[in-house]
Amino acid sequence: MDRSVKNCYPCHMARPRQFDEERVLHAVRDQFWNAGYAATSLQDLMRVSGLGKGSLYAAFGDKHQLFLRALRSYLDDSLGYLREKLDSAPRALDALRAFVMAPVSDPGGAAARRGCLMANSTCELATADPEVLAEAGRTYEGTTALVAECVVRAQKEGDVPADADPIETARALLAAQQGLVFMGRTGLDFDKLTATARSLAAQLLPGAG
């Protein structure tokens, strides 16, 4: 089943893949990100990946499975990046602040207008696609857990009141962050969005920037 491991052919080597699976997933992910799931056609996917229909179907299954693969790849990257950011910050409070401000961390604001693939997909598909809904639930639970860990660290460092519930605090921070992601997607002016992000971070987290 898993053809990503190269040296597992029965006895005769066959024709090797001429494409890099990760590269294709990346291109496909961008396409879904820009146009959404339903508005992306197989022709779009062929164009951005450079693959023929047959290759796409042989490698990934149908459109929906390919979408889920691309989505999961995106989530793995995002969660890994978040974990690294949260863990590597010298002071947990700074990491929490950066977490809330993440939607405005891109200088130009282009990323803010593009939003988040998982968020966009959830809004488009959550009602009708249980697998996407499940992925969303898992993702935001995972994110909450990571942030909550960071809250605990901030408490140990004396920056967050010890009586605050870490999970509850994390959920509030996550909700605020996702609200900012969404406001960015509505086209809200980047400077105003940044000001709002600062305001939210200041109100939800102790200490002055």
Partner DNA sequence: CGATTGATGGACCGTTCGGTCAAGAACTGC
Partner DNA sequence: GCAGTTCTTGACCGAACGGTCCATCAATCG
Name which of a copy of itself, DNA, none residue 14 binds, using a CB cut-off of 5 to 8 Å depending on partner kind: DNA
Q: Which DSSP string do the residues of 118-140 spell out, in sequence order?
A: HHHHHHHHTTT-HHHHHHHHHHH
In the bound state with a copy of itself, the residue whose beta carbon lies nearer, of 25 and 116, is: 116
State the nearest-atom distance from the C-beta of 135 to DNA, in Å: 19
Q: How far is CA 27 from the centre of its chain?
A: 15
Residue 14 corresponds to which tokens in the numbers above?
A: 């066959």
**Minimum CB distance to a copy of itself smaller for 46 or for 204:** 204
Torsion of CA 177, 183, 187, 191, to 10 degrees: -60
Cα–Cα distance between 193 and 200 in angstroms, integer? 11
Please, what is the minimum distance in Å from the beta carbon of residue 70 to DNA? Answer: 14
Q: Which stretch binds a copy of itself (CB under 8 A): 17-25, 44-52, 69-77, 112-120?
A: 112-120
Q: Does residue 3 touch DNA according to CB under 7 A?
A: yes
Which does residue 16 touch among DNA, a copy of itself, none (CB within 5 to 8 A, set by kind)?
DNA
Backbone angles phi, psi at 149, to 5 degrees: -55, -45
DSSP structure class, residue 102? G
Residue 66 or 136 with smaller CB distance to a copy of itself: 136
> How far is the C-alpha of 136 from the C-alpha of 148, rounded, in Å?
18
Q: Which residues bind a copy of itself (CB under 8 A)?
A: 34-39, 113-115, 119-120, 122-128, 133-134, 136-137, 139-140, 168-169, 171-172, 174-180, 182-183, 185-188, 192, 195-196, 199-200, 203-204
